[in-house]
Amino acid sequence: MSEFVTYVTRDGDRWDAIAYEMYGDATAYEPIIAANPSVPIRPTLEGGQRLLIPIREATATAALPPWKR
């Protein structure tokens, strides 16, 4: 079973910005969208929405500095 953390949006949040904040990778927004099918896919999100953020397992590259990933 997948594990999740809860994230409460702020006005103007974007899917890619949330992915960057949670995963360090702005392109990793698809699992977040998939975990929240009731949230409309729009360029920006309204504040106060509770999102489920899937917990990702650390990869071997996560310990490397960004310029070596």
Tokens describing residue 22: 């949670």
Residue 1 has pLDDT above 50, yes or no: no
State the pLDDT at residue 9: 98
Asked whether the beta carbons of 5 and 26 are under 8 A apart, the reply is: no
* Residue 52, pLDDT score: 97
The answer for residues whose C-beta is within 8 angstroms of residue 35's C-beta and 6 or more apart is: 2, 4, 51, 52, 53, 54
Check residue 44 and give its pLDDT.
Answer: 97
Element spanning 15, H or E: helix 15-23
Separation of alpha carbons 54 and 4, rounded Å: 4
Condensed to tens digits (0 to 9), the pLDDT of residues 10-66 reads 999 999 999 999 999 999 999 999 999 999 999 999 999 999 999 987 655 566 667
